[in-house]
Structure 1
């Protein structure tokens, strides 16, 4: 299969559903657990005088929005039609849009700065607009062994990484697909952080973690359904609590105004009580942004340790080489606010995007991501287990937005795609 960038000139290529709110702050990022499905096209039609008959081949297509910012890379069936043959209408799949969602009008990248409107059910392009993208769009590494293996060192000596069980089209990953993901990353990270209990993710991640020797940082995203979530967690890990590193309650809810401080702490206390009754004796925490916790340190005081999300990319004055110092400085500021200054603080999200728009000195890119991650790892060299990197794979189920510098989907380690999205 060729790796190409398909350049088309049209405004209505696919429907997007927006599942993430706009951010209310500059330098911290909310990575929502809400999924934003992107419909896959049945076929993309290209006129090409070199072909004498209609020919279908798989191609890698890069979709971008109206500002020429990449939205996703995916494999599509490209239909090459002779220039003398009338273009037929390709079928368009139906995309479900949630009541809170809006449709965007993305386009496929054009080599020129002009755009032409085309029918949303007919996609056309000249084959002269096909250019190689092998150097610009990295693919997933397949070098990891798929055989069962434990991490090369204890999980406490390794950084953690966040993980989402959703495919690029918004569907849930199967147990086999989750296993394939873990096979690629298990040796590099001690703890895998999940955010919720939907998609049977606790059970599928448990099976993979058990196989490859990882621990799980589990999450209850909906704090209005704590009892059901705890039951799902207990069943998912088969009451094998030794594999659970932490259980979090909520993710940046106070920061986003989705819950009050009291509601978050109450949900955490309820969760802790239910988990203790189920046999789990490990940490239970509220996770929120550094900004929220600086304003409300009681979120940490009431948690079994202090859990913060801290993203240097969203500070316009921080370049990749200063990412580590930004995070450690933030941790120090939070520590000064705690009632117990010796309390453990874990950075439960931090990383750097490899693609998107620049935010002042914070510039995305593969080299920049490598520099930023190296800076963060160096800063936490003596306590690697206190950092969870964001994120294992590119999250193609998310929606690209100007508010997040069109980078929301591209935080995967080394630009890595999940095998289910290739």
Structure 2
């Protein structure tokens, strides 16, 4: 995971990222990677959407000079009819030397499609501009899955959410087959799909045995895109070529967002993995997983995947409280949908959750009550399509390192504060 920003039922950005233990070469880690952009009082847009001057909260996506998203937040947007003199947006007084971001006066709005955003000229040293979209124009949070070559059904246990799982003990060592089975015994009945991230620690084989026993499906992952062939080979052996138990295979996790791979490298690895998996007998979906920030900037990551797989973490938006987590997720998904070449493509949120311990991030406060509220909000938002969301994470990840940049919460995202039996 990686920090993100957004507000209530609207959308915001700051990177999110996930990974795993250093010696295992992956580490679900959240890290703030951009300085905050100063929030203004109002943005003015001239157009024909309203006949009278109208103020509404809207999602504002700040982008750099190359049109890459930097941050998204909720701003008050003043719609002014074209026939009315442009309203002068008020900017907060500041003692800093930087000017507040302001849109170009009289920017026009194209309301013909949710994917049309007005552009504005930057006035700050950061050389940033903004885009925005209205939640009223957004698509449904998710829909049936389709791809250019085949339609993939929703995950098994369509009424159940998925959950992320890591096969590492608190000391960083690999869990044994018995320890993985003990974990599955605690979580299996509550989740349809169990998401893994790699092939190390013999995790495919141990998770396969546990999933087979307890009736789950597996969302498998090739974390190292420089070793795709080895990953597919290990995966095939681990599931004993019993591909019916595999719901999805992911290629990489937040690599574009994290700077671990370029878009072209990720797409190349996706193509290679899909070809090798088809040859091995797997005919299900193969996807790239990245943060919503990366996907908004590079929707081809989703366009080329068999469905759109994206990590969305409301906790990293300092303007979003726990009870707004579900709205944060669905608004983010709606914004992603507007960027896709196929607006009906299935979108699966492959990580989302809330920590139960750590430091506050503005309105985002860790705690058991807060986690309960956030998870309830997310589950309510996905009540009709539960299989399109994977919660983060099954157990507390004590092998991770607490860091100030992630609000000292990195270890404490376990559902209900639960520890794996081997860490108790």
TM-score band, normalised by the shorter chain? Answer: 0.5 to 0.7
SS in structure 2 of the partner of residue 395 of structure 1: coil
Deviations 1:25-82 (A, max 9, x none): 8754322123479xxxxxxxxxxxxxxxxxxxxxxxxxxxxxxxxxxxxxxxxxxxxx
SS in structure 1 of the partner of residue 255 of structure 2: coil
Farther off after superposition, 25-34 or 246-255: 25-34
Deviations 1:291-340 (A, max 9, x none): 00000000000000000000000000000000000000000000000000
Aligned to 1:234: 236
Q: Is the 8 A contact 1:245 1:282 kept in 2?
A: yes
Aligned to 1:99: none
Deviations 1:248-307 (A, max 9, x none): 000000001110000001001000000000000000000000000000000000000000
Q: How big is the shift at 1:24?
A: 9.5
Aligned to 2:245: 243
Q: Using the alignment, how far apart are the partners of 1:348 and 1:323 within structure 2?
A: 15
The answer as to 2:19 corresponding to 1:32 is yes
Q: Using the alignment, how far apart are the partners of 2:377 and 2:394 within structure 1?
A: 18
Aligned to 1:330: 332
The answer as to 2:350 corresponding to 1:348 is yes
Q: Using the alignment, how far apart are the partners of 1:246 and 1:24 within structure 2?
A: 25
* Alignment partner of 2:360 out of 340, 358, 361: 358
Q: Using the alignment, how far apart are the partners of 1:287 and 1:183 within structure 2?
A: 27
Q: Using the alignment, how far apart are the partners of 1:359 and 1:27 within structure 2?
A: 13
Q: Is the 8 A contact 1:307 1:348 kept in 2?
A: yes
Aligned to 1:306: 308
Q: Using the alignment, how far apart are the partners of 1:393 and 1:24 within structure 2?
A: 22
Q: Using the alignment, how far apart are the partners of 1:375 and 1:269 within structure 2?
A: 36
Q: Using the alignment, how far apart are the partners of 2:260 and 2:191 within structure 1?
A: 31
Q: Which of structure 1's runs of 4+ aligned residues deviate more than 4 A?
A: 22-28
SS in structure 2 of the partner of residue 250 of structure 1: strand
Aligned to 1:188: 190
Aligned to 2:412: 410
SS in structure 1 of the partner of residue 19 of structure 2: coil
Aligned to 2:280: 278
Q: Is the 8 A contact 2:15 2:257 kept in 1?
A: no
Q: Using the alignment, how far apart are the partners of 1:262 and 1:154 within structure 2?
A: 31
Deviations 1:11-30 (A, max 9, x none): xxxxxxxxx9x979875432
Aligned to 2:389: 387
Q: Is the 8 A contact 2:4 2:313 kept in 1?
A: no
Corresponding residue pairs, total: 287
- The 3 A distance-change label for structure 1 pair 391 and 27 is farther
SS in structure 1 of the partner of residue 225 of structure 2: coil
Q: Using the alignment, how far apart are the partners of 1:367 and 1:403 within structure 2?
A: 23
Q: Using the alignment, how far apart are the partners of 1:282 and 1:378 within structure 2?
A: 28
* Alignment partner of 2:209 out of 207, 210, 217: 207
Q: Using the alignment, how far apart are the partners of 1:373 and 1:285 within structure 2?
A: 25
